[in-house]
Structure 1
Amino acid sequence: MATAAMSPILISTLPDLLSFISSISQSSTLYLDLEGNNLSRNGTLTIITVLIHPTRVTGLIDVQTLGNSAFTTPTSSGNTLKSILEDTRTTKRLWDVRNDADALWAHHQIRLAGVTDIQLLENASRAGDKTYVRGLDICVERDLGLNAMEVQRWTRTKREVKALMHNGIFARRPLDAKTMQYCVNDVLYLPALYSAYAKRTDGQWMKMVMDESERRVVDACGPSYEPQSEAKKLGPWGAGSGSGSGSGKRPLTLEEVLDRWEDQRVDEMERELLGHGDMDDASYWDNY
């Protein structure tokens, strides 16, 4: 399954920002990802990547350069990036919203709304054990039917930029092409992943995903949220046996055992390659 490569728009001036915001309609769906050094209340927020669906126009908003004006500068119709992010009528979809929501609230007093967390959708749609959530890396590799070259290109960029995160790669200006491609890659396949998981999720589970997505935002904006908590590996529904079929403990199937083994193997490989420096949240959680 190929997805056309996107040439991102780098948004580092107010005129470019206003032009980009004006292209977002209330009926648009926004696929979002945030980057920074240790992205959270304890770190920085430097870049917001926005893929506008269905046009697939993709913007990299340079928050480091624009500062708070990135969120508060209004268009001629009065819209701001803040008002769009907080509007429940504009659908936003992210992969693991928690540290993104935390950083937006802590640094810019923006409370995300209208969010569907695709990580939760994957967990809900999964047949069998739901104990642990999965990371974007492993789901892109497994769930989209990408050819080997597409996977290799995507993972190589991910790996190369992650290896530089301890040097504050997202704070360097001008942004280099590889860093920009990394940002694009984090939203590139989100529409396809959402579609794949939504097709195998019934209405009851979709409502649970929406409710849990909202709860994640509330928790992330709360005073007791811990951005690197080990508990973040756990899904909210335990060992459920399938989409819409309730929950309960049962023996794992062979496929589930192999899935867990593969999750652990990928995680161990990444740890060996990258170690655990001062990276953004993705570097630790991607393979869960």
Structure 2
Amino acid sequence: MIDALQGLPSNPPSLYVDLEGESLSRHGSISLLQIYASPRDHTYLVDICALGARAFSVRGAGGRTLKQILESASIPKVFFDVRNDSDALYGHYGIDLSGVQDLQLMELATRTFAGRRFVSGLSKCIERDAPLTAAERLAWKAAKEKGLRLFAPERGGSYRVFDERPLSEDIRLYCVQDVRFLPRLWSRYDARLTPMWRQRVRDAAAERVAQSQSADFNGKGKHMALAPRGWC
């Protein structure tokens, strides 16, 4: 897998990343890491629950590790709200993310229908902005609903399903669906970014990573829905 993630185009970005886990943070756990490589149209599911630190230290044929890819400033990685993912990766494995592009910030920067006081969630962005066919939209909603019923506590589920092996087909599909439409959102938002807002998004993404690594970072609460300071 490591070799398949190298040598890919950087503009548009090739790698789209998400994580799953119970109370995803330095205080919780990481179960899975999903990487969608858009030029290959393939989603890689990395079993962090089973591999632990080895997932980030195994070298590919070219000598690089997943940790080095995640920390490389020259390899763009697209996340949707990087904060809790970064908190978990840094807290558990010392991974200092770099080259991050945050879709949540890109949406906020290009928003025209309302103010910029609050950020949007991924589901809302996909429903509103991702150019999906009717069949794709139906499949995405079905996979999302099945996944939520299995892992969301408020729906009677448990996040521990991400640690069950073999991984259920419904959870596998949920994980794949979570990242495979991110490139379409990136294209939509990137086309609308002005040079000024592009720089502000870049700076805010780096600030989110830095904040997530601070000793007093709290990734839960109403403050997580607020726009970066000065964006309103």
Calculate the TM-score normalised by the size of structure 1: 0.73
Structure 1 residue 160: deviation in Å?
2.0
For the residue of structure 2 that corresponds to 1:122, the secondary structure is: helix
Residue of structure 2 in register with 1:95 after alignment: 80
Task: Report the number of matched residues.
Answer: 221
Residue of structure 1 in register with 2:4 after alignment: 23
Residue of structure 2 in register with 1:251 after alignment: none
Structure 1 residues without counterparts, runs of 5 or longer: 1-19, 241-288
Give 4+ residue runs of structure 1 displaced > 4 Å after superposition: 237-240
Cα pair 2:34 2:175 within 8 Å, conserved: yes
**216, 221, 224: which is aligned to 2:216?**
224
Residue of structure 2 in register with 1:121 after alignment: 106
**173, 195, 200: which is aligned to 2:192?**
200
CA distance in 1, matches of 2:145, 2:28: 21
Structure 1 residue 43: deviation in Å?
1.0
Residue of structure 2 in register with 1:107 after alignment: 92
Is 1:55 equivalent to 2:40 in the alignment?
yes
Cα pair 2:43 2:180 within 8 Å, conserved: no
Residue of structure 1 in register with 2:227 after alignment: 235
Matched ranges for 1:184-199 at <5 A: 184-199=176-191
**202, 212, 216: which is aligned to 2:204?**
212
Cα pair 2:131 2:184 within 8 Å, conserved: no
Change (3 A) 1:76 1:149: closer
Note the alpha carbon deviations across 1:135-176, whole angstroms, 9 max, x for none: 110111111243444323212221221222242110110001
CA distance in 1, matches of 2:91, 2:209: 12
**155, 163, 188: which is aligned to 2:149?**
163
CA distance in 2, matches of 1:179, 1:140: 19
Q: How many percent of aligned residue pairs carry the same amino acid?
A: 37
CA distance in 1, matches of 2:205, 2:231: 19
Change (3 A) 1:129 1:238: farther
Cα pair 1:26 1:89 within 8 Å, conserved: no
**182, 198, 202: which is aligned to 2:174?**
182
Q: Specify the code of the residue in structure 2 equivalent to 1:208.
A: R
Is 1:141 equivalent to 2:127 in the alignment?
yes
Structure 1 or 2, whichever has the larger Rg, is 1
Note the alpha carbon deviations across 1:84-122, whole angstroms, 9 max, x for none: 100101110010101000000111111111000000000
Structure 1 residue 26: deviation in Å?
4.2
Residue of structure 2 in register with 1:258 after alignment: none
For the residue of structure 2 that corresponds to 1:116, the secondary structure is: strand
Structure 2 residues without counterparts, runs of 5 or longer: none
Is 1:41 equivalent to 2:18 in the alignment?
no
Quote the RMSD (CA, aligned, Å).
Answer: 1.5
Structure 1 residue 188: deviation in Å?
1.1
Change (3 A) 1:176 1:217: same
